[in-house]
Amino acid sequence: WGRICFFDAQLGARSGRRTVSYGYVCGIRWNAFKINGRSMLINETLLDISRQFWEAMEHADEVGMRACAHPDCNFVHIGITCKLDKEIEFYTSGAFQPTNITFHSQKAELFGDTGVVLTDCDYSLLLDGKETTHHFMVTEVYTQDEKRWKLVTFSFTALVY
């Protein structure tokens, strides 16, 4: 992962007839359950897609970003709001060049058919050639598209604490 660091999940216990699994990713508990005998690790899946997207952004990987995001995904930055194509252009053109990303925590939650990942991070990048660092809570909203989770909103909120 280079400058991006995550921790692996540790799986837990079984209880009765249904399988109850749990684990911790960056100190956050996630739950798993079974549907028709198939394990559904929703929180883990959302965190994995989030990691894939962050890695794709770090490496200006257009294919990777498109694989994780809905074509009409919205991005909200401090100074601009844009769609996926423009976001990709910022990274592939070098306008946004990540230099260091420190993840403090990530939390995934499910609200019906909508998944939300909250990522607390320090994000450093060259922005039009100038180094900048901000402490952000990034809100990542996912919906299911053809049985795959797709990013639909990626919003940076600057934190002052």
Of 90, 133, 143, the residue nearest 113 (C-alpha): 143
How far apart are the C-alpha atoms of 108 and 149, rounded to whole Å? Answer: 13
Q: Please state, as a whole number, how many other Cβ atoms lie within 10 Å of the Cβ of residue 60.
A: 17
Residues for the chain: how many in total?
161
Q: Is the pLDDT of residue 12 over 50?
A: no
Q: Is the pLDDT of residue 17 over 80?
A: no
Tokens of 74: 């919205």
How far apart are the C-alpha atoms of 18 and 27, rounded to whole Å? Answer: 25
Q: Are 65 and 90 in contact (CB under 8 A)?
A: no
Residues pairing with 111 in the sheet? 114
How much is the pTM? 0.74
Average pLDDT on 27-40 reads: 42
Q: Could you give the count of Cα atoms lying within 13 Å of 127 in the half-sphere of its Cβ? A: 11
Instruction: Give the distance from CA 80 to its chain's centroid.
Output: 20
Q: What is the pLDDT of residue 14?
A: 34
Q: Is the pLDDT of residue 96 over 70?
A: yes
Average pLDDT on 61-79 reads: 95
Of 97, 104, 105, 106, the residue nearest 124 (C-alpha): 97
Average pLDDT on 17-46 reads: 49
Q: Element (H or E) spanning 31, and its range? A: strand 28-35
Share of the chain above pLDDT 90, in %: 59
Average pLDDT on 92-116 reads: 92
- Quick one: pLDDT band at residue 113, thresholds 50, 70, 90? confident
Q: What is the pLDDT of residue 150?
A: 95
Question: Which of the residue ranges 24-33, 54-63, 74-83, 100-109 would you say has the lowest mean pLDDT?
Answer: 24-33
φ and ψ of 89, to 5 deg: -60, -40
Question: Coil, helix or strand for 55?
Answer: helix
